[in-house]
Every structure is written in structure tokens, then in C-alpha cells.
Amino acid sequence: MKNLMAPELLAEFQAKPVQMDKIVAYLDAHPEVTAATMCRLVDIPVQRLYNWRNETRKRVSLAAEDISTEFVVLPVSGTGKYSAADKFALMKQYGKVEGQARAELLRKYAIYQSDIKRWQELADQAALESLGKRKPRSDKQPVEIKLIENLKKDLQARDKKIEKLEALVMIQKKLSLLLDAIEST
């Protein structure tokens, strides 16, 4: 990592007092560099960087030039964690703004560009999975439903046979009564 960063820049980051705004700007511009790696190089605790970001987020005004004042996302219970809906809203807002407004948005909500990219990848993956699922065919029914339908058909056929047999029995009774009446006369 030290080899990838200019020695002058590394020396500037390591200078005391540490200039957190420059470090954060560098992290925002280089999403491949993690906050933990940067803090290890500069020899500061990672928590200090996160605390600084949270304090900065509180100080940044809600009304930036390119950021809509209607757009407000707050972390869940002040923990810095965002719900899925908030992450999606942040991604959409990040896509709408350009240039310095993007950096302001990232600072305002204490997130990194790498967070936005990771969320976008997850959203894309979920969208592909969702679109890849096929709706079950209506003619493909579970075995139980087919069995029930077959049993209903059999029952209807037997009911028809029973009705015919009942009609035959009634005819036989009437015929028998008629024959008895004829014989007795």
C-alpha cells in the first residue's frame, strides 16, 4: 500500500496534527483503499476516523447546492447503520448528483464511495436473481391437487351411475306393482 501512495502524500498524512479532512477526501477518491488500511499507515485508531466523520456529518448543513432539502436519511437509532430502504435512497441520490455534491453527500451521511458501490452491486445481484426467477406454470400443479381433481371426477361419475341405478330401481318397483295389479285381476 505504501508503494501505491506517493511518499510526499503519505508524509503529509502522517504529519502532526493529523488532517482528517484530507484523509477522508483521499479515501473518498480511492474506494480501493479501506479506512482500516489508511489508519494503519497514518497510525491513528480507526474509531477516531469514524468519530470525526460522524461529527462532520452533524456539522454539514442539510441544504447543499445540488442536494435536495427534501432528501433526509437518518441512520437507524443513531448507530450509523442504514436500513435497506435508506441505502437504496442514498444510492439513487448519489446517482443524481455530480462532482463536489457527491463528496458532500458522502460526508453528510458518513459513508464511503465504496459503500455506494457495494450497495449497488448487491442491488444489481438481487435484481438479476429476482428477474431470473420464473413464474410457476399454471399447468404444473402439485400431485395432491391433481389427485383431488381426479377423485372429484370419479365421484361425479359414480354419482351419475347411482342416479341411473336409482331410476332403474324405481322403474322396477313400479313395474313390479303394475304386474302384481294385473295378476290379481
pLDDT (tens digit, 9 = 90+) per residue, 70-100? 556 655 555 567 888 888 888 888 988 888 8
More confident residue, 137 or 40: 40
Question: What mean pLDDT do residues 8-35 have?
Answer: 79
Percent of the chain scored above 90 by pLDDT?
Answer: 22
Query: Please, how many CA atoms are within 13 Å of residue 68, restricted to the half-sphere of its CB?
Result: 12
Is a pLDDT exceeding 50 seen at residue 65?
no
Domain ranges of the chain: 2-132, 136-185
Residue-level pLDDT at 157 = 95
Residue 66 has pLDDT above 50, yes or no: no
